[in-house]
């Protein structure tokens, strides 16, 4: 039995939707026409037909900044994005079945995972050189947005969103520690209460970062209320990358809560020290996720299975703190 289509679905074409998308992006009928290789009257006709199919609901608004989509227009753009993604999936699936190509995989990696995930991806690339990997690195907020926009086949992250239909699998433990310069006066001290560090200058990632959110929860559990939504602690400084934070800590500018996987090399080399803080390390989990409503093609499935088997072997190990080493020697002796 044929599925009954809505009046809108019967009267709307992909050509109309693409004309609308081009119009919003270009900001003018002539710009959309140039993008699509059509005449301006042809674009205007497509936009008129689309609005008629929607009951003449206005799809755009015009202000001093130019053309922007209305609330209804945003819904149309979202539908267009989903249709384009579905068509791209279909083309890739047919191509793979026909043996015309080996496939490509769009992978999102939160910035904290960039210290180990590329090695796991490179191992997959060596085993399947015909598969093209398109890797996007960003903070948690950016990767979550890319998942929501159906732009990624898979993503590696530490805290998957709860408001998306995701399949998730565990890759391994993800510890977080507070690091300081090696000559910090609390290096070697045992069981430091987090409250005793509240006066320290903390170096923070930008809003949207998973480590910043984790520090906030750690402080709140200790009864330390943030100064404001933007500033967690007095004197805190916001720095936009883990690499810059590590360099700043080594230079003596402050201390930081970071993923142990981002600082393993510097701690091993003695350029950073891990403070023995009560309740730390906080051990979270690395996850591999994908949208359930996005078709997983053979290349993406192969990468999924590879990461489930091999990712844990690429996770860095953190040297013991002096206090932990002393406790272990005492237990043995």
pLDDT, mean of residues 184-203: 91
pLDDT of 68 above 80: yes
For the chain, percent of residues with pLDDT exceeding 90? 44
pLDDT at res. 230 = 62
The model's confidence at residue 275, banded by pLDDT at 50, 70 and 90, is very high
DSSP string, 176-214: EEEEE-TT-TTTT-SSB-GGGGTTS-BEEPPTT-HHHHH
pLDDT of 182 above 90: yes
71 token code pair: 């609330």
pLDDT at res. 303 = 94
Q: Is 69 helix (H, G, I), strand (E, B) or coil?
A: strand
pLDDT, mean of residues 204-224: 84
Mean pLDDT score across all residues of the chain:
86
For the chain, percent of residues with pLDDT exceeding 70? 89
pLDDT at res. 181 = 96
pLDDT at res. 227 = 59
Say if 7-77 and 173-284 have the same CATH topology.
Answer: no
Q: Are 104 and 134 in contact (CB under 8 A)?
A: yes
pLDDT at res. 209 = 80
CATH topology assigned to domain 85-172+286-314: D-Maltodextrin-Binding Protein; domain 2 (3.40.190)
265 token code pair: 């090399």
- The pTM for the full model equals 0.63
pLDDT, mean of residues 7-17: 82
pLDDT in tens, 81-120: 888 888 887 777 776 654 434 688 999 999 889 999 999 9
| CA proximity to 124, closest of 317, 299, 316 | 299
Range from 99-103, 144-148, 293-297 carrying the lowest mean pLDDT: 99-103
pLDDT at res. 298 = 86
In sequence order, the β-bridge partners of residue 177 are 258
pLDDT of 173 above 80: yes
Where would I find the H helices in the chain? 7-11, 14-26, 29-36, 40-53, 71-98, 117-127, 140-148, 210-221, 242-250, 260-268, 298-310, 322-332
Which CATH number fits the domain 173-284, given the four candidates 3.30.360.10, 1.10.10.10, 1.20.1250.20, 3.40.190.10? 3.40.190.10
Range from 47-56, 115-124, 178-187, 224-233 carrying the lowest mean pLDDT: 224-233
pLDDT at res. 224 = 82
In sequence order, the β-bridge partners of residue 290 are 167
pLDDT at res. 233 = 76
Give the pairing type, strands 166-180 and 282-291: antiparallel
pLDDT, mean of residues 58-63: 86
The model's confidence at residue 127, banded by pLDDT at 50, 70 and 90, is confident
CA 248/CA 255 separation, integer angstroms:
9
- Cβ-proximal residues to 145 (8 Å cutoff; 6+ apart), any chain: none
pLDDT of 326 above 70: no
Class for the domain spanning 7-77: mainly alpha
Q: Are 289 and 80 in contact (CB under 8 A)?
A: no
pLDDT at res. 102 = 66
CA 157/CA 304 separation, integer angstroms:
14
Each domain of the chain, given as residue ranges in start order, spans 7-77, 85-172+286-314, 173-284
The model's confidence at residue 320, banded by pLDDT at 50, 70 and 90, is low
CA 273/CA 184 separation, integer angstroms:
8
pLDDT in tens, 36-51: 888 999 999 999 988 8
pLDDT of 229 above 70: no
């Amino acid at each position: 039995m044929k599925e009954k289509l809505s009046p809108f679905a019967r009267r709307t074409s992909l050509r109309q939707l693409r004309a609308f998308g081009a119009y919003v992006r270009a900001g003018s009928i002539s710009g959309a026409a140039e993008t699509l290789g059509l005449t301006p009257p042809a674009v205007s006709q497509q936009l008129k037909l689309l609005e008629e199919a929607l009951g003449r609901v206005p799809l755009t608004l015009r202000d001093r900044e130019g053309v922007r989509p209305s609330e209804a227009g945003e819904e149309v753009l979202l539908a267009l994005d989903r249709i384009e993604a579905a068509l791209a999936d279909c083309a890739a699936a047919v191509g793979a079945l026909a043996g015309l190509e080996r496939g490509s995989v769009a992978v999102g990696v939160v910035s904290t995972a960039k210290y180990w995930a590329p090695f796991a991806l490179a191992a997959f690339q060596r085993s399947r050189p015909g598969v093209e990997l398109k890797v996007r690195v960003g903070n948690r907020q950016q990767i979550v947005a890319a998942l929501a926009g159906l732009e990624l086949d898979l993503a590696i992250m530490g805290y998957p969103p709860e408001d998306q239909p995701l399949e998730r699998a565990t890759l391994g433990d993800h510890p977080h520690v507070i690091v300081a310069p090696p000559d910090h006066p609390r290096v070697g001290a045992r069981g430091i209460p987090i409250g005793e560090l509240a006066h320290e200058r903390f170096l923070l990632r930008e809003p949207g970062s998973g480590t910043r959110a984790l520090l906030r929860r750690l402080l709140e559990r200790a009864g330390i209320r943030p100064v404001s939504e933007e500033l967690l602690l007095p004197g805190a400084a916001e720095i936009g990358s883990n690499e810059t934070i590590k360099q700043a800590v080594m230079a003596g500018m402050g201390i930081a809560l970071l993923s142990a996987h981002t600082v393993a090399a510097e701690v091993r080399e003695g350029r950073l020290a891990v403070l023995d803080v009560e309740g730390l390390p906080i051990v979270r989990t690395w996850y591999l996720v994908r949208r359930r409503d996005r078709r997983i093609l053979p290349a993406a499935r192969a990468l999924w299975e590879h990461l489930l088997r091999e990712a844990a072997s690429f996770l860095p190990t953190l040297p013991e703190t002096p206090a932990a080493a002393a406790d272990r020697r005492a237990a043995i002796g």
